[in-house]
């Protein structure tokens, strides 16, 4: 039996290959994602090994719930540490992420790509991974000297002795490039820009006092790291802690892992869509194949095979394809990983071209996905195959199982769709944990439901879509249209695969368009300021990078500006949960930023140690104005803050304090946002012109008017849309392969018919045209379903987010039309191969009567 | 009609070999035959004697290994696929044993197929005559699946006639029909020859069927071995016996 199964597979190579390709693509995305992130993880692990090779103990600020911290602590701690018995060497250093290097033309290096990291140069080689490259000058040894990593030096075209502009706490300054460094033996730390100064100079540039942000300790030969950590802990003042180097390395590894898991979850979601689409294709293929093999299977039944044996045979065939597809998918996953790496590097990340890492987990998951996908997809067709009656071997029409009635289909489809919509609604509207799972499952079930309903729409829609074809292409057009109506279920199922990808693209487009539609209102409402300044850097994905404090001070000197107001951002922990916190200048904020305070909440902020809270957040926590809330800061520890008022504009943060309070509780490194208004009588453009020397000097600060902010946000939305669409392209490609697959199988089925058409005089071009338009109808059908579903989903989500400021549901008509057009084009592409095959079909096959 | 020759089709020393070397089968082994205009010719012979092969080669569905086949005075071997297809579309009609019709098209659409493929409209008079002769006016909107086997074959015959081809080839057209339906079909084909002057070449192995023709060509082992004019079932049977013996 199993031999029969495998033989039949090889007898139909093309069908085999096309089915396998759907699996290969889905699996390769899964495998590629794992391979890529595992490889990066391994690279980071190597890096961390380098960094921590000589560090037995690390002394740092005790940041409580914030985990590892770079908050500064008093420098005198070093003396106490050095005095501990068992310490061989110890060195303190400072670090900052609020630092920016400008290239020769005054533009910031790094931009939105990898971050810029500032360090003090460590004198003890065993405690620091930084090295001077051969011929790379000397380490920085005093004021005015800087060292950069070799990768940055190369990219920016610097040479030793160049004057390099670095913007730190005190604003832009010139430094002489005295050293070119490497990180371990790498020229770069994954593309980050590394800036090093001599310790005292680093403190000045980073805005530190007589402080360290960390002390690294090496133990004498026979003292164990744990033991030494304990001994050091005993001499540390409160607020400073000692951990083993290993602990800190593990913490960092866990952080990196978490950051990467964000990426891998994102990629895996898209891989999941592709696999889902693949399941449609594979199921459809098996179904068609079973139908085509009716006679053969019935013969097997007639000579004594049981229904069970037939079922097992079909499933074994499926599993074999799944096996081959999965193995090929894993192999192709390497290509995928290289492609992702290439994309990352094109985006400015210096991911080294190390050997790719294949973990056993990748193999297991990929095989499970590939085999599970095929197994599940083959169950229904296998069942159908097992029900073919033996007499079908003799009589062709005996195999026609009574069609499930339209009513049953309509009811089942509606029920499934309803279930999907229900789950979707729960995820969107009810506040449940892990809402995203509800949304994803709901969408998937809704897709299945619609695909069950789709055959009902296949005939009428094919008539509508295909309406012009007979008029335009005569008999080829008519036949194309009729052919798609012949097996509505097959047409619908093929189209449904495309529907999924198109629906998601349409959904994102609708979501994007609706966001754009409300963005302008939101921005104009929220930012009354004429000009908003922010850093072009992105060190922390959640908070704006700091602008040097010197910038706002400089702006104050311009007469053309009436108000300059800065905002800072940070994190706090309240009741064990991390929150964002914003800081404002109570005397000016109302002129530049619409907090929508209730009563005189903003002026109440002037009292030290007070905060105001978004009214929704206040309610959620069960607080009242006048309450005292214990708030934990990384820098100052637990502080009793009093709630002095409420506000409504919770777009950025649920909690605001005054800048003064902020400075008392954070290591103040700069401003997150700076706002300014032009003085009355001075136009915004004129003011912008006037302050350009300052803006230009701070190369990483960009000045934006309200409409420029809107433009930028819109561009970002477009970019995100393009990215999502790009990732969904895979699902669409799989769906197009599905159309190719279905057509190829249908043509095989219609050998006689096509031969007949050729015999009575249809030229090859007409045959090709017939197949092509058939594909176009299927593709357009899928796209119409997809666009419809995508718009409905988009509408639901926009409605769900109405309170968040999404008022305007908007359909991007242009994009929708484009999507339909591209889908039709995809149909043309999908048909190329089957059309050629059909046109080349041997006429004699048509009329041989067996 | 674009040709002046007496014959609508001609096969000259046709050889058709399938396979190579040891396993080569000479389906046609020097067959020669002429088909006069306005005649109804039957090709008879035992199973495997090369009847279908001969038909395919002379109808431009397959190519000869050597020798020549002509439709009118056009040597088929000189034509490329496209011209061959156009020639079939314009000058040849077909009736096969089964699977003659496109299942998704109605009877009428099937009849008009050769014309619509070429983007042509039917000659109304001619079309009406065919419909009257074939007697299917009330079934025109039906799909093939809704027609009986005999009706399906008559639709196929009507389709073969509709483009007024120079010659119609039929391979066992009544092979799948019961005797009544078969007789109706053959009577219709015969009328097409008598009333419209149509040329028909039909392959059959059944003496009763062959007796509808004006002339029979006998085939054996890929060669034409005999012929006979104005056959009757009995005379055909006799001849077959003498040949077989
Ligand atoms: N495609 C083919 N390949 C190999 N042999 C063939 C093929 N078609 C026909 N034959 C052989 O050629 C001979 C003549 O076949 P055919 O013309 O179909 O005979 P008939 O129609 O008289 O029964 C037979 O022996 C048959 O087996
Ligand atoms: Mg035959």
Angle at the Cα of B37 (from B34 to B42), degrees rounded to 5? 60
List the single residue in A with minimal CA-CA distance to B113.
A475
Does the pLDDT at position A804 exceed 70?
A: no
Which residue has tokens 């003085």? A679
**What are the distances in angstroms from CA A690 to CA A437, A550, A682, A699, A700?**
52, 18, 10, 16, 18
Where does the pLDDT of residue A67 fall: very low under 50, low under 70, confident under 90, or very high at 90 and above?
low
Where does the pLDDT of residue A5 fall: very low under 50, low under 70, confident under 90, or very high at 90 and above?
low
The pLDDT score that the predictor gives to residue A397 is 47
Residue B12 φ/ψ region, left for φ over 0, alpha for ψ in the -120 to 50 degree band, beta for the rest: beta
Residues with Cβ within 8 Å of A435's Cβ and at least 6 positions away in sequence, in order, are: A427, A428
From the list A475, A486, A752, the residue facing B116 with the nearest CB is: A475
Cα separation, A289 vs A385, in Å, equals 10
Closest ligand 1 atom to Cα of B54 = 17
The pLDDT score that the predictor gives to residue A805 is 61
A132 alpha carbon to ligand 1 midpoint, in Å?
A: 84
B54 alpha carbon to ligand 2 midpoint, in Å?
A: 9
From the list B97, B102, B118, the residue facing A761 with the nearest CB is: B118
Residues with Cβ within 8 Å of A373's Cβ and at least 6 positions away in sequence, in order, are: A23, A26, A27, A275, A278, A279, A282, A322
CB contact under 8 A, A761 and B61: no
Copy the structure tokens of residue A249.
């390395």
The pLDDT score that the predictor gives to residue B1 is 45
Number of Cβ pairs < 8 A linking chain A and chain B = 82
Cα separation, A8 vs A18, in Å, equals 15
Which residue has tokens 């009214």? A615
List the single residue in B with minimal CA-CA distance to A471.
B119
ipTM over 0.90: no
Note the helical H segments in A53-108: 77-82
Specify the CATH architecture of the domain B7-243.
3-Layer(aba) Sandwich (3.40)
Number of residues that make up chain A: 850
B49 alpha carbon to ligand 2 midpoint, in Å?
A: 8
Residues with Cβ within 8 Å of A158's Cβ and at least 6 positions away in sequence, in order, are: A104, A148, A152, A164, A177
Q: For residue range A128-144, what is the model confidence (pLDDT) as tens digits?
A: 888 888 888 899 998 99
The pLDDT score that the predictor gives to residue A398 is 44
Closest ligand 1 atom to Cα of A848 = 18
Q: Would you tell me how many other CB atoms lie within 10 Å of the CB of residue A230?
A: 13
The pLDDT score that the predictor gives to residue A668 is 85
Copy the structure tokens of residue A386.
């097992």
Note the helical H segments in A180-235: 199-206, 225-235
Q: Would you tell me how many other CB atoms lie within 10 Å of the CB of residue B180?
A: 9
Copy the structure tokens of residue A597.
């305070």
Q: For residue range A298-310, what is the model confidence (pLDDT) as tens digits?
A: 777 766 677 788 8
**Cβ atoms of A318 and A377 closer than 8 Å:** yes
Q: How far is B114 from chain A (nearest CA, A)?
A: 6
B175 alpha carbon to ligand 2 midpoint, in Å?
A: 10
Q: At what angle do helices A13-52 and A2-11 cross, to 10 degrees?
A: 100
Closest ligand 1 atom to Cα of B46 = 22
The pLDDT score that the predictor gives to residue A849 is 47
Nearest CA to ligand 1 atom 25: B48
A843: nearest Cα among A766, A755, A749? A755
List the single residue in A with minimal CA-CA distance to B56.
A844
Closest ligand 1 atom to Cα of B222 = 14
Q: For residue range A542-557, what is the model confidence (pLDDT) as tens digits?
A: 778 888 888 999 999 9
Q: For residue range B73-96, what is the model confidence (pLDDT) as tens digits?
A: 899 999 888 888 888 888 998 888
The pLDDT score that the predictor gives to residue A121 is 92
Cα separation, A289 vs A402, in Å, equals 19
Nearest CA to ligand 1 atom 14: B50
Nearest CA to ligand 1 atom 16: B50
CB contact under 8 A, B82 and A763: yes
Cα separation, A481 vs A471, in Å, equals 11
Does the pLDDT at position A361 exceed 60?
A: yes
Helix/strand/coil (H, E, C) string of chain B?
A: CCCCCCEEEEEEEEEEEECCHHHCEEEEEEEEEEEECCCEEEEECCCCCCHHHHHHHHCCCCCCCEEEEEECCEEHHHCCHHHHHHHHHHHEEEECCCCCCCCCCCHHHHHCHHHHHCCCCCCHHHHHHHHHHHCCHHHCCCCHHHCCHHHHHHHHHHHHHHCCCCEEEEECCCCCCCHHHHHHHHHHHHHHHHHHCCCEEEECCCHHHHCCCCEEEEEECCEEEEEEECCCHHHHHHHHHHHHC
Ranges of residues in chain B whose predicted pLDDT is under 50:
1-3
Does the pLDDT at position A396 exceed 70?
A: no
Q: How far is A845 from chain B (nearest CA, A)?
A: 10
Report, as an integer, the average pLDDT of A322-338: 92
CB contact under 8 A, B114 and A479: no
Nearest CA to ligand 1 atom 1: B18
A454 alpha carbon to ligand 2 midpoint, in Å?
A: 44
At residue B42, φ and ψ (nearest 5 deg) are -110, 145
CB contact under 8 A, A846 and B105: no
List the single residue in B with minimal CA-CA distance to A486.
B104
CB contact under 8 A, A759 and B94: yes
Ligand 1 cavity residues, CB under 6 Å = B 18-19, 25, 27, 45, 47-53
Between these two residues, A340 and A157, which has the higher pLDDT value? Answer: A157
Of B96, B98, B153, which to mutate for an interface test with A (greatest number of A Cβ within 10 Å)? B96
- Choosing from B18, B20, B56 the residue with most ligand 1 atoms within 8 A of its CB, the one to mutate for a pocket test is B18
Q: For residue range A631-679, what is the model confidence (pLDDT) as tens digits?
A: 888 777 788 999 999 998 877 888 999 999 998 888 888 898 999 999 8
Domains of chain B, by residue range, sit at 7-243
Q: What is the DSSP letter of A786?
A: H
Q: Would you tell me how many other CB atoms lie within 10 Å of the CB of residue A291?
A: 19
List the single residue in A with minimal CA-CA distance to B114.
A760
The pLDDT score that the predictor gives to residue A193 is 87
Does the pLDDT at position A438 exceed 90?
A: no
- Per DSSP (E only), the strands in A753-816 are none
List the single residue in A with minimal CA-CA distance to B88.
A761
The pLDDT score that the predictor gives to residue B213 is 95
For the beta sheet containing A57-61, the strands, ordered from the edge strand earlier in sequence to the opposite edge, are: A87-93, A214-219, A57-61, A240-244
The pLDDT score that the predictor gives to residue B4 is 58
The pLDDT score that the predictor gives to residue A771 is 93
Which residue has tokens 């399906």? B152
CB contact under 8 A, B159 and A760: yes
Contacts of A756 in chain B (CB under 8 A): 96, 99-102
- Residues whose CB is under 5 A from ligand 2 (ion)? B 52
Q: For residue range A181-204, what is the model confidence (pLDDT) as tens digits?
A: 988 777 777 778 899 999 999 999
Q: Does B56 touch chain A (CB under 8 A)?
A: yes
DSSP secondary structure string, A8-23? HHHHTHHHHHHHHHHH
CB contact under 8 A, B171 and A758: no
Interface residues from chain A to B (CB-CB < 8 Å)? 474-475, 478-479, 482-483, 485-486, 752-753, 756-764, 766, 843-844, 846-847, 849
Cα separation, A742 vs A490, in Å, equals 8
Q: Which ligand is nearest to the CA of B97?
A: 2
The pLDDT score that the predictor gives to residue A66 is 63
At residue A335, φ and ψ (nearest 5 deg) are -60, -40
């Amino acid at each position: 039996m199993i031999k029969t199964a495998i033989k039949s597979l090889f007898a139909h190579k093309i069908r085999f290959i096309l089915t396998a390709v759907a699996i290969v693509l889905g699996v390769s995305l899964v495998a590629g994602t794992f391979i890529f992130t595992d490889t990066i993880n391994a690279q980071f692990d190597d890096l961390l090994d380098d960094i921590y090779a000589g560090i037995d103990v690390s002394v740092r600020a005790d940041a409580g719930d914030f985990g590892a911290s770079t908050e500064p602590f008093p420098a005198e701690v070093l003396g106490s540490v050095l005095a501990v018995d068992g310490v061989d060497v110890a060195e303190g250093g400072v670090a900052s992420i609020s630092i920016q290097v400008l290239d020769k033309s005054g533009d910031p290096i790094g931009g939105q790509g990898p971050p810029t990291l500032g360090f003090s140069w460590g004198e003890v080689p065993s405690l620091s991974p930084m090295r001077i490259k051969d011929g790379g000058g000397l380490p920085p040894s005093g004021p005015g000297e800087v060292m950069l990593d070799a990768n940055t030096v190369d990219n920016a075209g610097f040479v030793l002795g160049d004057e390099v502009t670095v913007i730190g706490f005190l604003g832009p300054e010139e430094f002489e490039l005295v050293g070119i460094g490497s990180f371990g033996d790498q020229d770069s730390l994954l593309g980050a820009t590394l800036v090093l100064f001599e310790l005292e100079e680093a403190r000045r540039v980073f805005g530190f006092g007589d402080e360290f942000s960390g002390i690294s300790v090496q133990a004498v030969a026979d003292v164990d790291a744990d033991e030494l950590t304990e001994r050091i802990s005993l001499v540390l003042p409160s607020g400073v802690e000692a951990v083993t180097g290993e602990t800190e390395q593990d913490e960092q590894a866990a952080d990196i892992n978490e950051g990467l898991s964000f990426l891998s979850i994102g990629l895996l979601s898209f891989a999941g869509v592709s696999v889902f689409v693949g399941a449609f294709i594979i199921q459809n293929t098996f179904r068609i194949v079973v139908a085509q093999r009716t006679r053969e299977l019935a013969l097997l039944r007639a000579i004594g095979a049981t229904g069970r044996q037939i079922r097992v045979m079909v499933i074994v065939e499926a599993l074999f394809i799944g096996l081959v597809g999965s193995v090929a998918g894993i192999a192709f996953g390497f290509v995928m990983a290289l492609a992702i790496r290439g994309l990352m590097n094109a985006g400015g990340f210096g991911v080294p071209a190390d050997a790719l890492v294949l973990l056993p987990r990748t193999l297991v998951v990929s095989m499970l996905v590939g085999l599970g996908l095929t197994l599940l997809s083959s169950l229904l067709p296998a069942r159908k195959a097992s029900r073919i009656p033996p007499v079908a071997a003799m009589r062709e029409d005996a195999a026609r199982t009574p069609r499930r009635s339209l009513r049953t289909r309509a009811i089942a489809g509606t029920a499934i769709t309803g279930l999907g919509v229900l789950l979707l609604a729960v995820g969107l509207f009810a506040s449940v944990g892990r809402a995203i799972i509800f949304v994803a499952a709901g969408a998937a079930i809704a897709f299945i439901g619609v695909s069950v309903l789709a055959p009902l729409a296949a005939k009428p829609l094919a008539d509508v879509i295909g309406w012009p074809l007979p008029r335009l292409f005569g008999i080829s057009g008519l036949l194309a249209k009729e052919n798609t109506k012949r097996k509505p279920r097959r047409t619908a199922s093929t189209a449904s695969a495309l529907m999924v990808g198109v629906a998601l693209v349409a959904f994102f487009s609708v979501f994007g368009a609706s966001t754009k539609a409300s963005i302008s209102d939101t921005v104009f409402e929220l930012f009354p300021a004429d000009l908003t300044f922010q850093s072009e850097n992105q060190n922390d994905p959640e908070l704006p990078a700091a602008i040097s404090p010197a910038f706002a001070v400089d702006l104050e000197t311009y007469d053309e500006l009436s108000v300059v107001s800065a905002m800072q951002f940070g994190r706090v922990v309240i009741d064990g949960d991390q929150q964002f916190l914003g800081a404002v200048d109570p005397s000016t904020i109302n002129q530049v930023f619409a907090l929508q305070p209730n009563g005189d909440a903003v002026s109440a902020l002037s009292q030290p140690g007070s905060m105001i809270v978004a009214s929704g957040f206040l309610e959620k926590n069960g607080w009242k104005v006048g309450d005292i809330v214990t708030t934990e800061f990384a820098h100052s520890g637990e502080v009793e803050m009093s709630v002095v008022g409420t506000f409504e504009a919770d777009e950025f943060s649920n909690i605001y304090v005054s800048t003064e309070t902020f400075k008392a509780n954070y290591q103040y490194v700069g401003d997150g946002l700076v706002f300014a208004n032009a003085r009355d009588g001075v136009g915004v453009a004129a003011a912008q012109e006037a302050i350009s020397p300052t803006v230009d000097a701070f190369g990483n600060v960009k000045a934006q008017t309200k409409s420029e902010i809107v433009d930028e946000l819109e561009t970002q939305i477009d970019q995100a849309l393009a990215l999502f669409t790009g990732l969904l392209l895979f699902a669409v490609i799989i769906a197009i392969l599905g159309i190719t697959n279905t057509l190829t199988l249908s043509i095989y089925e219609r050998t006689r018919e096509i031969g007949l058409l050729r015999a009575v005089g249809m030229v090859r071009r007409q045959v090709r045209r017939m197949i092509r338009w058939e594909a176009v109808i299927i593709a357009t059908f899928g796209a119409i379903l997809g666009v419809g579903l995508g718009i409905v989903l988009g509408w639901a989500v926009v409605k769900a987010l109405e309170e968040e400021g999404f008022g305007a549901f908007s359909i991007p008509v242009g994009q929708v039309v484009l999507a339909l057009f591209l889908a039709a084009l995809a149909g043309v592409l999908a048909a190329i191969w089957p059309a050629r095959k059909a046109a080349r079909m041997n006429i004699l096959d048509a009329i041989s009567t067996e | 009609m674009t040709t002046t020759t007496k014959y609508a089709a001609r096969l000259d020393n046709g050889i058709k070999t399938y396979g190579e070397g040891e396993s080569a089968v000479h389906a046609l082994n020097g067959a020669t035959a002429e088909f006069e205009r306005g005649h109804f010719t039957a090709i008879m012979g035992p199973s495997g004697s090369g009847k279908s092969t001969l038909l395919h080669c002379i109808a431009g569905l397959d190519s000869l290994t050597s020798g020549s086949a002509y439709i009118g005075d056009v040597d088929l071997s000189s034509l490329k696929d496209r011209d061959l297809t156009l020639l079939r579309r314009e000058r040849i009609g077909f009736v096969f044993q089964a699977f003659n019709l496109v299942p998704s098209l109605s009877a009428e659409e099937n009849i008009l197929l050769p014309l619509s493929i070429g983007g042509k409209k039917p000659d109304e008079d001619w079309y009406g005559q065919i419909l009257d002769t074939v007697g299917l006016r009330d079934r025109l909107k039906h799909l093939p699946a809704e027609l009986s086997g005999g009706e399906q074959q008559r639709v196929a015959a009507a389709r073969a006639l509709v483009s007024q081809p120079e010659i119609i080839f039929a391979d066992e057209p009544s092979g799948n029909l019961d005797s009544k339906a078969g007789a109706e079909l053959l009577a219709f084909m015969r009328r097409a020859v008598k009333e419209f002057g149509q040329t028909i070449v039909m392959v059959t192995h059944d003496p009763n069927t062959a007796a509808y023709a004006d002339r029979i060509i006998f085939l054996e082992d890929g060669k034409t071995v005999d012929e006979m004019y104005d056959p009757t079932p009995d005379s055909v049977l006799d001849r077959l016996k003498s040949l077989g013996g």
